[in-house]
A and B are shown apart, each in its own frame.
Chain A
């Protein structure tokens, strides 16, 4: 089945130690998104790629970076994680539009803990 896969499901890192989360998709969708979701909160968009074009949300901290080396893969890098960055990180895709009427397909997330 075509899907969005996130690895690892659980990640523990130390305060200030860089961490990378990965996402792959077999849907061949042009758009990939990264969201941060804290407990009982709405998913918060961090950034998205439309193909290779990177779009950062205005309030995404500089601590968060992303790479998309090809259509299938996207990475989230947190350069110096703080305690406030502990959350579920969700990757999603949509076929070929950021807006309008296309549903998003989500992975099952990576739960990040900071020690």
Chain B
């Protein structure tokens, strides 16, 4: 069955550093991969989408990579700020509805 793993449940990082979150998947060949941010008690908010033939996508301080050989996506937040503290979910899209990972809870410490 399809399986999505996000590298750790929680990640603590110092303000100003680059946060790197990992999303690995098995038994799936997604055409697209999406990243969402979820704050406590709120719904997920879409951040970025990357296609299988794109290696990298950027939006302001965010960067996403997609390696279909490694079956992995990396999500980077550069110059991290306390306001970036949230849970970040990856989601795979293909010929079925989105399949979400559990997310990684990022805490940026001032």
Which residues of A does B touch, CB under 8 Å? 4, 33, 40-43, 45, 48, 90, 92, 98-101, 103-109, 111
Q: In the complex, A92 Cα to B93 Cα: how many Å?
A: 15
Contact (Cβ within 8 A) A90 B31: no
A-B contact pairs, 19 of them (CB 8 A): A40-B9, A42-B100, A43-B44, A90-B43, A92-B43, A99-B93, A99-B94, A100-B31, A100-B94, A101-B49, A103-B49, A104-B44, A105-B46, A106-B44, A107-B43, A108-B42, A108-B43, A109-B41, A109-B42
Contacts of A107 in B (CB 8 A): 43
In which size bucket is the chain B interface? 20 to 34
Contact at B45–A45, with CB atoms within 8 Å?
no
Which residues from 10 to 52 on chain B have a C-beta closer than 8 Å to any C-beta of chain A?
Answer: 31-32, 34, 41-46, 49, 51
Identify the B interface with A (CB < 8 A).
4, 9, 31-32, 34, 41-46, 49, 51, 89, 93-98, 100-103
**What's the least CB distance linking B99 to chain A, in Å?**
8
Partner pick for A100 among B46, B93, B100, CB 8 A cutoff: B93
Interface pair B43/A101, CB less than 8 Å apart: no
CA distance A33 to B41 in the complex (A): 18
B interface, over-half SS = loop
Query: Which residues of chain A are near B4, meaning CB under 8 Å?
Result: 42
Bound: A44/B21 CA distance, A: 21
Tell me which of B46, B89, B97 contacts A42 (CB under 8 A).
B89
Chain B residues with CB under 8 Å of A104's CB are 44, 46, 98
Residues of A within 8 A of B51 (CB): 101
State which of A4, A41, A45 has its C-beta within 8 Å of the C-beta of B98: A45
| Smallest CB gap from B102: residue in A | A42
Cα A106 to Cα B32 with chains together (Å)? 19
8 Å CB contact of A98 from B9, B32, B97: B97
A42-B102, A109-B41 given; 16 more Cβ-contact pairs under 8 Å: A4-B43, A33-B97, A43-B89, A45-B98, A90-B43, A90-B44, A98-B97, A99-B93, A99-B96, A101-B32, A101-B93, A104-B98, A107-B43, A108-B41, A109-B42, A111-B41
